[in-house]
Amino acid sequence: MAPATVTAQVDGLSLADIAWLRRDGFGLDSATLASYRQLGRTRFLDEQLAGTDDTLPPQVAAQINALSVVSTPLPDLLADFRDSQRRFKDMPAGPGKDAAKKALQQYRRDLEQQAAQAELLHAVYGGDQLKEQLVWFWLNHFSVYANKGAVRVFAANYEEQAIRPHALGKFKDLVMATLTSPAMLVFLDNAQNVKGKTNENYARELMELHTLGVGSGYTQADVQQLMRVLTGAGIAPPKVAQRLGRFGLARPGVVRDGLFLFNPAKHDDGDKTFLGQTIPGSGYAEIAQAVDLIVRQPACAQFVSRQLAEYFIADEPPAALVDAMARTFRNTDGDIAAVMRTMMLSKEAAAVDGRKFKDPMRFVVSSMRLAYDGQPIPNAAPLQNWLRQMDEPLYGRITPDGWPLDSASWTGSGQLSKRFDFARVIGSGRNRLFVDGDAKPAAHDAPDLQGSALYRDAIAPTLSDATRDALAKAKSPTEWNTFLLSSPDFNYR
């Protein structure tokens, strides 16, 4: 649906500028437009690619830091989690155990909910929207499932320590950060991959889903050899980690970083032949050598570049664009920022006729950014609840392939019906975003989208005649907001 009668330029913004900004970030807000107008596209992009702007409104930063999954040291979180499970298991059957079961279930849900809230608050309020989209993209690309074992304990740390610091860095470093994260080690079972009792689950997904893709030429023998390389890479229980901190690092070959533990006693130290190269048995150093071999494969550059282009540009991105991104990947040793620069300065990034339907994450975050335009919310729990009801909860994908991000996966009638409902919830102001805990929702007016400069400058110029006609028939601000947020023009970007 092409936009009808539009203004070619509004207050310094062309339709190409608007299209580019809608790809660059989750959604537009006034601060983004002001920065873009001041800097121009290239300087604006370069500042984002520097990856240094993780600023948040003070209230939002305080809200994230107050979450126990963020403020509590990871070993303490894990110890509390295991202690709570042990206490429940040791309780005698009866009413007391039934009550304890409900409390344990709520405790487990809270861990997952807090991790999701932290990421959603970053996505809505983060100053570097290109980086925020990449954090979400990599979280989904290197997907973990919170409901498996202790993964829910590690989820917030996974986002903050494995994904976020490396989202714009070298792809090799990002792979290593996810490989050594307790969340990934538990989710894909490498914590149980030890000499004499091996598990190839992570080795297979590392190549198939994370780096090379199906049909890239690796063999089952490569999977087996990579599995051997990865033996002994696991996590240390909190008490063991404490002992290792005092005594264990003197033992030759032991590598520990937080809860990550490489134990040479559990490692297959024989030579391996992987991707046509010999990796001499050398303990932990084998892992870095194997990852380096993987990311230097031409298939890795092509696979990662295509995944990025499919998310940011189109479900079927032009082959020439993907090839250009892959060349940049190879020429820069997998520099993600450089690959993104190639993509975001392409003509496709500013194309006004591109149509890609937003997945629920993009819909929720872009709706919040437009409707509340930087206004902090004291309660982020509804955001994750909305994603769950739209079938894309953060850390909720059971299989390791991540949520599908193509348009067709999110345009079914059931999804569109839910989206209309949540457009009304967001656009009405009658929601729990502005209440703490279990308090009753306070009266909150519907956001004035129609009268905002943000709508006038960056949304109105892109609307089709059909959407304009629908908005003209709205009988209240809530209905007007609902029609806008549920319109095809807003849901395609």
Mean pLDDT over 2-8 rounds to: 38
pLDDT band of residue 238 (cuts 50, 70, 90) is low
Q: Give the type of residue at 263.
A: N
Residues 302 and 420 in one domain: no
CA distances from 132 to 114, 120, 327, 365 (A): 18, 10, 24, 11
Q: Could you tell me which residues come within 8 angstroms of residue 90 by beta carbon, excluding any fewer than 6 positions away?
A: none
Token output for 400: 């390791």
Residues 483 and 362 in one domain: yes
What pLDDT is stored for residue 3 in this prediction?
Answer: 37
Scan for tokens 């203004």, then name that residue.
7
Instruction: Determine the structural domain holding residue 329 and report its residue range.
Output: 298-350
Residues 422 and 483 in one domain: yes
Stated pTM of the model: 0.94
- Point out which residues pair with 234 in neighbouring strands: 261
Token output for 407: 């348009």
Token output for 459: 């949304």
What pLDDT is stored for residue 8 in this prediction?
Answer: 44
Q: Is residue 231 part of a domain?
A: no
Q: Is residue 91 part of a domain?
A: no
Residues 312 and 390 in one domain: no
Scan for tokens 């391996």, then name that residue.
272
Q: Is residue 37 part of a domain?
A: no
Residues 456 and 340 in one domain: no
The DSSP string of 416-472 is: HHHHHHHHHHHHHS-SSTT--TTPPPPP-PPP--TT-HHIIIIIGGG--HHHHHHHH
Token output for 440: 């009753």
Q: Is residue 468 part of a domain?
A: yes
Residues 457 and 387 in one domain: yes
pLDDT tens per residue, range 354-384? 789 999 999 999 999 999 999 999 999 999 9
User: Is residue 202's pLDDT more than 70?
Assistant: yes
Token output for 323: 């090839």
Q: Is residue 283 part of a domain?
A: no
Q: Is residue 140 part of a domain?
A: no
Of the residues 350, 369, 384, which one is the last residue of a structural domain? 350
State how far the Cα of 178 lies from the Cα of 81, in Å rounded to an integer: 22
Which H or E run includes 453? helix 453-454
Q: Could you tell me which residues come within 8 angstroms of residue 108 by beta carbon, excluding any fewer than 6 positions away?
A: 152
**Alpha helix (H) ranges present in 263-406?**
285-295, 298-312, 319-331, 336-344, 360-372, 381-389
How many C-beta atoms surround the C-beta of residue 247 within 10 A?
Answer: 9
State how far the Cα of 376 lies from the Cα of 186, in Å rounded to an integer: 35
307: helix, strand or coil: helix
Q: Is residue 456 part of a domain?
A: yes
pLDDT tens per residue, range 76-132? 999 999 999 888 888 888 888 888 889 989 999 999 999 999 999 999 999 999 999
State how far the Cα of 218 lies from the Cα of 208, in Å rounded to an integer: 9
How many C-beta atoms surround the C-beta of residue 38 within 10 A?
Answer: 10
User: Is residue 261's pLDDT more than 80?
Assistant: yes
What pLDDT is stored for residue 174 in this prediction?
Answer: 98
Residues 385 and 456 in one domain: yes
174: helix, strand or coil: helix
pLDDT band of residue 4 (cuts 50, 70, 90) is very low
Token output for 470: 């629908």
Residues 460 and 433 in one domain: yes
Task: Kindly state the percentage of the chain with pLDDT values over 90.
Answer: 84
Residues 364 and 464 in one domain: yes
Ramachandran area for residue 11 (φ above 0: left; ψ -120 to 50: alpha; else beta) = left
Of the residues 335, 350, 365, which one is the last residue of a structural domain? 350
The DSSP string of 215-245 is: TSS--HHHHHHHHHHTTTEEE--HHHHHHHH
Q: Is residue 385 part of a domain?
A: yes
Mean pLDDT over 241-247 rounds to: 56
Q: How many domains does the chain have?
A: 2
C-beta of residue 298 within 8 angstroms of C-beta of residue 274:
no
Residues 477 and 372 in one domain: yes
Of the residues 350, 376, 411, which one is the last residue of a structural domain? 350
Q: Give the type of residue at 294.
A: I
Using DSSP bridges, classify how beta strands 260-262 and 255-257 pair: parallel, antiparallel or unpaired: antiparallel
21: helix, strand or coil: helix
Q: Lowest-pLDDT range, 103-107, 301-305, 452-456?
A: 103-107
Residues 392 and 476 in one domain: yes
What pLDDT is stored for residue 439 in this prediction?
Answer: 62
Residues 394 and 330 in one domain: no
CA dihedral 133, 137, 142, 147 (to 10 degrees): 80
